[in-house]
Amino acid sequence: MIDNYNIWLIIIVMGLGSFGLRFVFLGLVGDRPLPDWVIRHLRYTAVAILPALVAPLVVWPDATSGHLDPARMAAAIATLGVGLWSRNVLAAIAAGVVVLYAGLWLTV
């Protein structure tokens, strides 16, 4: 399967491309001031992208062939809930892991 590919070509192009994406604004815009409306949009980058990346993984996990999984859903809700309440990233991760394993154990 992998033998059909030039793996080094893939590694190098992915590396250059990923660096390019990471560098494009920070490197090329630098200290030129950005317009207010751009900054207003950028403020919400993390808060939009991170949950958007996660949403399909929570609702349709690959591990359960795309079927909604009560343990994973409960873990997601626990993580978010504890994170909102405590404002502490580590506490939220701990809550998510505990609920995930408890849920998996209960649903076996």
Partner 1 sequence: MSSSSSKSVFWRGVRDGMPFTLVIAPFAVLFGVVATEAGLNVFEVLSFSVVVIAGAAQFTALQLMQENAPTVVVLASALAVNLRLAMYSASLVPYLGKAPLWQRALVAYLTVDQSYATAMIKYENEPEMPLNEKVRYFIGCVIPVVTVWYITSMIGALVGTALPDGLAIDFAVPITFLALTAPMLRTLAHVAAALVAVATALVFAFLPYNLGLIVAGIAGMMTGAQVELWMTRRAAP
Would you count residue 61 as binding partner 1 (CB under 8 A)? yes
Would you count residue 102 as binding partner 1 (CB under 8 A)? no
Name residues whose C-beta falls within 8 Å of residue 58's C-beta, 6 or more positions apart in sequence. 72, 73, 76
- Span 27-46, contacts to partner 1 by CB under 8 A: 27, 29-32, 34, 37-46
Min. distance of Cβ 82 from partner 1 in angstroms? 8
Dist CA 77 CA 68 (whole Å): 13
Residue 88 φ/ψ region, left for φ over 0, alpha for ψ in the -120 to 50 degree band, beta for the rest? beta
Q: Tell me the number of residues near partner 1 by CB under 8 A.
A: 77
Is residue 38 within 8 A of residue 59, CB to CB? The reply is no
Dist CA 20 CA 96 (whole Å): 34
Would you count residue 89 as binding partner 1 (CB under 8 A)? yes
Would you count residue 49 as binding partner 1 (CB under 8 A)? yes
Comparing CB distances to partner 1, the nearer of 27 and 106 is 27
35, 47, 65, 67: which one binds partner 1 (CB under 8 A): 47
